Amino acid sequence: MNKNPFILSVIALCGIALIGSVILWIAIAREHALRKVDQTAQQVVPKLEVATDPSFPEIKGRVISGFPDFPVYPGAALVASAKTNRADQPDTGYRVKWTVQGEVPIVMKWYQAELPKSSWQIEQSVDPNNPGEQINQISKGNFNGSLLVENDGTVTEIIAEVLIAE
Protein backbone atom coordinates (compact mmCIF):
# COMPACT_ATOMS: atom_id res chain seq x y z
CA MET A 1 0.00 0.00 0.00
CA ASN A 2 1.57 3.23 -1.25
CA LYS A 3 0.69 6.36 0.79
CA ASN A 4 0.39 9.65 -1.01
CA PRO A 5 2.77 12.28 0.52
CA PHE A 6 0.25 15.04 -0.26
CA ILE A 7 -2.47 13.35 1.79
CA LEU A 8 -0.04 12.71 4.67
CA SER A 9 0.90 16.41 4.62
CA VAL A 10 -2.76 17.47 4.70
CA ILE A 11 -3.45 15.13 7.62
CA ALA A 12 -0.41 16.47 9.53
CA LEU A 13 -1.46 20.10 8.92
CA CYS A 14 -4.99 19.33 10.07
CA GLY A 15 -3.61 17.76 13.26
CA ILE A 16 -1.43 20.79 13.95
CA ALA A 17 -4.38 23.13 13.30
CA LEU A 18 -6.55 21.08 15.67
CA ILE A 19 -3.96 21.20 18.46
CA GLY A 20 -3.45 24.95 17.94
CA SER A 21 -7.22 25.52 18.09
CA VAL A 22 -7.48 23.64 21.38
CA ILE A 23 -4.63 25.66 22.89
CA LEU A 24 -6.20 28.93 21.71
CA TRP A 25 -9.59 27.86 23.07
CA ILE A 26 -8.03 27.12 26.50
CA ALA A 27 -6.28 30.51 26.57
CA ILE A 28 -9.51 32.35 25.70
CA ALA A 29 -11.47 30.38 28.31
CA ARG A 30 -8.92 31.26 31.02
CA GLU A 31 -9.02 34.95 30.13
CA HIS A 32 -12.81 34.91 30.13
CA ALA A 33 -12.87 33.17 33.54
CA LEU A 34 -10.58 35.83 35.00
CA ARG A 35 -12.97 38.55 33.81
CA LYS A 36 -15.85 36.89 35.63
CA VAL A 37 -14.25 37.40 39.06
CA ASP A 38 -16.77 38.36 41.71
CA GLN A 39 -17.11 42.15 41.87
CA THR A 40 -16.50 42.17 45.64
CA ALA A 41 -13.09 40.63 45.05
CA GLN A 42 -12.16 43.50 42.76
CA GLN A 43 -12.35 46.15 45.48
CA VAL A 44 -9.21 48.24 45.56
CA VAL A 45 -7.24 47.32 48.66
CA PRO A 46 -4.56 49.88 49.41
CA LYS A 47 -1.03 48.57 49.83
CA LEU A 48 -0.18 48.66 53.50
CA GLU A 49 3.15 50.22 54.36
CA VAL A 50 3.23 49.88 58.13
CA ALA A 51 -0.18 48.71 59.41
CA THR A 52 -0.19 45.05 60.35
CA ASP A 53 -3.87 44.62 59.51
CA PRO A 54 -5.96 46.21 56.71
CA SER A 55 -8.56 47.33 59.28
CA PHE A 56 -5.98 49.42 61.18
CA PRO A 57 -5.95 53.14 60.24
CA GLU A 58 -2.85 54.04 58.20
CA ILE A 59 -1.73 57.43 56.92
CA LYS A 60 0.91 57.73 54.22
CA GLY A 61 3.42 60.57 54.50
CA ARG A 62 2.32 61.79 57.96
CA VAL A 63 2.65 60.77 61.58
CA ILE A 64 -0.68 59.53 62.93
CA SER A 65 -2.26 61.44 65.79
CA GLY A 66 -1.29 60.02 69.18
CA PHE A 67 2.21 58.85 68.26
CA PRO A 68 4.59 60.22 70.91
CA ASP A 69 7.37 62.72 70.24
CA PHE A 70 10.18 60.69 68.69
CA PRO A 71 13.58 61.68 67.22
CA VAL A 72 13.88 61.22 63.45
CA TYR A 73 17.16 60.17 61.88
CA PRO A 74 18.62 63.00 59.75
CA GLY A 75 17.53 62.70 56.12
CA ALA A 76 14.94 60.01 56.83
CA ALA A 77 11.79 60.13 54.70
CA LEU A 78 8.49 59.41 56.42
CA VAL A 79 6.68 56.59 54.60
CA ALA A 80 3.58 55.99 56.70
CA SER A 81 2.18 55.58 60.18
CA ALA A 82 -0.62 53.52 61.62
CA LYS A 83 -2.51 52.54 64.72
CA THR A 84 -2.27 49.02 66.09
CA ASN A 85 -6.03 48.73 66.40
CA ARG A 86 -9.19 49.24 64.34
CA ALA A 87 -10.59 52.76 64.09
CA ASP A 88 -13.63 51.85 66.20
CA GLN A 89 -11.50 50.62 69.11
CA PRO A 90 -9.58 52.50 71.81
CA ASP A 91 -5.95 53.22 70.86
CA THR A 92 -3.55 50.43 71.80
CA GLY A 93 -0.42 51.72 70.08
CA TYR A 94 1.21 53.09 66.94
CA ARG A 95 3.75 52.24 64.22
CA VAL A 96 5.76 54.64 62.09
CA LYS A 97 8.05 53.81 59.17
CA TRP A 98 10.83 55.93 57.70
CA THR A 99 13.40 55.10 55.02
CA VAL A 100 16.92 56.42 54.70
CA GLN A 101 20.11 55.78 52.81
CA GLY A 102 22.42 54.61 55.55
CA GLU A 103 24.01 51.61 57.18
CA VAL A 104 22.06 49.77 59.86
CA PRO A 105 24.77 49.94 62.58
CA ILE A 106 25.26 53.69 62.05
CA VAL A 107 21.53 54.43 62.14
CA MET A 108 21.02 52.36 65.30
CA LYS A 109 24.01 53.96 67.04
CA TRP A 110 22.46 57.37 66.29
CA TYR A 111 19.19 56.28 67.92
CA GLN A 112 21.04 54.85 70.92
CA ALA A 113 22.61 58.29 71.43
CA GLU A 114 19.54 60.44 70.58
CA LEU A 115 16.62 58.61 72.20
CA PRO A 116 17.86 59.13 75.79
CA LYS A 117 18.09 62.89 75.09
CA SER A 118 14.28 62.80 74.58
CA SER A 119 13.68 60.72 77.75
CA TRP A 120 13.37 57.45 75.80
CA GLN A 121 15.06 54.36 77.18
CA ILE A 122 16.64 51.97 74.69
CA GLU A 123 18.30 48.62 75.21
CA GLN A 124 21.62 47.83 73.59
CA SER A 125 21.33 45.70 70.46
CA VAL A 126 22.31 42.03 70.80
CA ASP A 127 24.57 42.36 67.75
CA PRO A 128 25.40 46.06 67.30
CA ASN A 129 27.48 45.35 64.18
CA ASN A 130 24.80 43.39 62.28
CA PRO A 131 24.55 45.14 58.89
CA GLY A 132 21.19 43.59 57.96
CA GLU A 133 18.85 44.11 60.90
CA GLN A 134 18.84 45.32 64.48
CA ILE A 135 15.95 45.44 66.93
CA ASN A 136 16.03 47.30 70.24
CA GLN A 137 13.42 47.57 72.97
CA ILE A 138 12.33 51.15 73.69
CA SER A 139 10.17 52.77 76.35
CA LYS A 140 9.04 56.18 77.56
CA GLY A 141 6.31 56.91 80.09
CA ASN A 142 3.37 54.64 79.30
CA PHE A 143 4.81 53.57 75.91
CA ASN A 144 6.72 50.31 75.45
CA GLY A 145 7.83 48.96 72.12
CA SER A 146 10.60 48.29 69.68
CA LEU A 147 12.79 50.05 67.18
CA LEU A 148 13.66 48.05 64.08
CA VAL A 149 16.39 49.21 61.71
CA GLU A 150 16.67 46.95 58.68
CA ASN A 151 18.30 47.08 55.27
CA ASP A 152 15.91 45.72 52.63
CA GLY A 153 18.54 45.69 49.88
CA THR A 154 17.81 49.14 48.48
CA VAL A 155 17.13 51.37 51.51
CA THR A 156 17.30 51.17 55.26
CA GLU A 157 13.91 51.05 56.95
CA ILE A 158 13.34 52.45 60.42
CA ILE A 159 10.17 51.18 62.10
CA ALA A 160 9.18 52.39 65.56
CA GLU A 161 6.34 50.52 67.22
CA VAL A 162 5.05 51.66 70.58
CA LEU A 163 2.22 50.13 72.55
CA ILE A 164 0.32 51.92 75.26
CA ALA A 165 1.02 50.26 78.62
CA GLU A 166 -2.01 49.83 80.84
pLDDT digits (tens, 9 = 90+) for 8-19: 776 777 767 677
User: Which of these ranges, 26-35, 46-55, 78-87, has the smallest mean pLDDT?
Assistant: 26-35
pLDDT digits (tens, 9 = 90+) for 104-121: 999 999 999 999 999 999
Beta bridge partners of 67: none
CA 130 to chain centre: 22
| Strands ordered across the beta sheet of 77-83 | 58-60, 77-83, 93-100, 156-164, 143-151, 133-140, 121-122
pLDDT digits (tens, 9 = 90+) for 139-166: 999 999 999 999 988 999 999 999 998 7
Using CA atoms, how far apart are residues 133 and 127, in angstroms rounded to an integer? 9
Question: What pLDDT does 34 receive?
Answer: 57
- Whole-model pTM: value is 0.70
